[in-house]
Amino acid sequence: MKEYKVAILGATGAVGREMMKILAERNFPVKELHLLASARSAGKILEWQGKPIAIEEACESAFEGIDIVLGAAENDIAKKFAPAIVKAGAVFVDNSSAFRMDPDVPLIVPEINPEDAKNHHGIISNPNCSTIITVTAVNALNAISPIRTMIASTYQAVSGAGAGGPIELAEQIEALRLGKPAEPKVFSHQIAYNLIPQIGGEQFEGYTSEEMKMQNEGRKIMHLPDLKGSCTCVRVPVVRSHSISVQLHFDRPISVQEAREAIANAPGCRLVDDLKKKEYPMPLETSDQDIVFVGRIRRDLTDENGLCLWCCGDQVRKGAATNAVQIAELLIEKK
């Protein structure tokens, strides 16, 4: 089997480190792994598959000879280095939102639109974490009858805000236990024992940037240009794994049983749906794995062509790192 020179841009962050883990877990054919980060991290050592790897400073020359770059950096870094990556002949699988809505850049969830990956021009975008989890859960229903509207509420774990999120949650819980004030640093308000109904800045008519991603990215991934959507994103005091409540309206009625069978057989999904036995998707069960759990499937009481469901998935893995590595797998399969 051919082996590939792989670089991770933003290797020291939570998603970058998870990418390292996923490459090893999935036995990706890595000939060389290059870990790229800022100048202040250069020279530090990270271990991968029992071997020490020195972090290199991210610069334009760092991509020479690389086959695949997995991006785990912010938008500005992605935009800065994308031209150099493409010029070097590598394919940039980018986890930032910098290129997601560019019509010349494929936006890929491998279980849904793998064929779109062949249309890349050196850059492929990884969707937003909540978008990946949601569309993976509902795509099998879209195949039965096109989704016309989707109303979603996301319940997003603190780790979605980076490595500092879980630390702040734990520190605030301990501070409150000791009768001390909970000081917010990562989040705009206290997150311990609280919900914060804002993720991202305002983007469109009171909707945040995070909320608009669901509608815009879902249209592109599922090839539904006329999909109407509305989303509310909420940060919750859960360490890992995002949860989403989804209301869907179709061209025709889809029965609950029909939906359950479709989701049970959908790639990347697991049906967990037995209310009497108190079995449904929850963050604790869906953390540190790559399957999207789907349950609470029921008829929408406001629309005869509608269904409601609940899904959960690990936003660091399937919502980011694993999806990116799966895209890289598509690239080597096509070669």
Tens digit of each residue's pLDDT (9 = 90 or more) over 36-77 = 999 999 999 999 999 999 999 999 999 999 999 999 999 999
Report yes or no: 309 and 297 within 8 Å, Cβ to Cβ: yes
**Helix (H, G, I), strand (E, B), or coil: what is residue 138?**
helix
Please pick, among 34, 129, 249, 311, the residue that the annotation labels catalytic: 129
- Pairing mode of beta strands 45-48, 51-54: antiparallel
- As a whole number of angstroms, the distance between CA 150 and CA 227 comes to 8
Residue 324's CATH number: 3.40.50.720
Q: Which pTM does this prediction carry? A: 0.95
Quick check: is 129 catalytic? yes
Divide the 335 residues of the chain into consecutive groups of 10 and give the mean pLDDT of each group: 95 95 97 96 94 96 97 96 98 97 97 96 97 98 97 97 94 98 97 98 95 94 96 98 98 97 98 98 97 98 98 97 98 77
Please pick, among 242, 249, 269, 312, the residue that the annotation labels catalytic: 242
Indicate whether 206 and 294 sit together in one domain. Answer: yes
Chain CA centroid to CA 201, Å = 19
Q: Is the dihedral of CA 315, 317, 320, 322 positive or negative?
A: negative
Provide the token pair at 122.
Answer: 């050196």
Residue 175's CATH number: 3.30.360.10
- As a whole number of angstroms, the distance between CA 91 and CA 200 comes to 28
Check residue 98 and give left, alpha or beta (phi > 0: left; psi -120 to 50: alpha). Answer: alpha
Indicate whether 25 and 48 sit together in one domain. Answer: yes
Note down the domain range covering 177: 131-315
What pLDDT, on the 0 to 100 scale, is given for residue 163? 86
pLDDT tens-digit profile of 166-176? 999 999 999 99
